[in-house]
Amino acid sequence: MDHRPERTAPFVRGGVLRAILLALMVAILPIAALGAGNGQGSSAKTAAGITVALSPSSRTLDQGQSTTFTVSATSTGGFTGPVTFTISGLPAGATASVAPSSLNLTSGGTAQAVLTVGSATTTPAAKTDFTVKAGGGSIVSNTAPGQLQVLEVKRSFGVAGSVNGLLAPGVSRSVELQISNPGNKSIAVTNLSVSITQVVRTQAAIAANLPCTTADYKLTQYSGAYPLTVDPGVRTLSSLGVPESGWPRITMYDTPQLQDGCKGATLQLTYSGTGQGN
């Protein structure tokens, strides 16, 4: 029996060692490539830009009043130069102004301006979302959201009226309105209306069973301009400069039916309107 050791064992061990070295090289290469890729990404330059913020994001005000926001503009990516603002989405009758109207940004710097939003007495009472943007040359900022809540302000006032002349079949008469403002500030009056609530016949018409109802009359509502600015005290449509052609009118129809029941009748009129504080 030959007891000499086999010569193939060292070659087997050597094969295992080479396999392990090759595996290590395969594992190391992706890690090195990943490190090189990360280094290249971190060297990319950030584009110049502007970031805008609004503070506070929401304000509440009464109709006819104004409020303010603070607008901040920040330079990013090394942007420098003048910046102006654009406000969009405000409700009807609302206005916006920025002071100062232009900001000069330095690289990485922040500057602030005051945004004043005013409402009209006719601005709808509601919550409205609006936006603020800044621009400098060809650079446009992000969109900063804001919200404006407008509250309705009502004022107590009185409305009365008088018919200019007597009514008869086929005759139309204007109604002169008087508006009483008991406060110490002017009010803006809108939505004036007149209605006939009752026709009061004479005792003779009632005894003779002669009819007369609201169906014998036609009402034409106020058609003048709104709002009517009414100072403290009593003001008529004439004193407010409203031509008679815009006043309410009452017309008695001329019908084939007997209308003797309307002779001497009294019309009870009801007036209404809306008044907002200026």
Task: Please spell the DSSP secondary structure of 204-238, one letter per residue.
Answer: HHHHTT----GGGEEEE---S-S-EEE-SEEEETT
Domain 158-277 has CATH 2.70.98: no
In this structure, what token pair is assigned to residue 35? 């490190």
- pLDDT score, position 36: 42
CATH 2.60.40.10 region(s) of the chain?
49-151
- pLDDT score, position 275: 80
pLDDT, tens digit, 9 for 90 and up, residues 114-154:
999 999 988 999 999 999 999 999 999 999 999 999 998 77
- pLDDT score, position 4: 54
Q: Provide mean pLDDT across the span 161-181.
A: 95
Domain 49-151 has CATH 2.60.40.10: yes
48/10 Cα distance (integer angstroms):
66
Query: How does strand 139-140 pair with strand 127-136?
Result: antiparallel
Average pLDDT, the chain: 87
For the chain, percent of residues with pLDDT exceeding 90: 73
Q: In this model, does residue 44 exceed pLDDT 70?
A: no
Taking a C-beta distance cutoff of 8 angstroms, is the pair 82, 65 a contact?
Answer: no
Identify the weakest region by mean pLDDT among 35-49, 56-70, 77-91, 97-111.
35-49
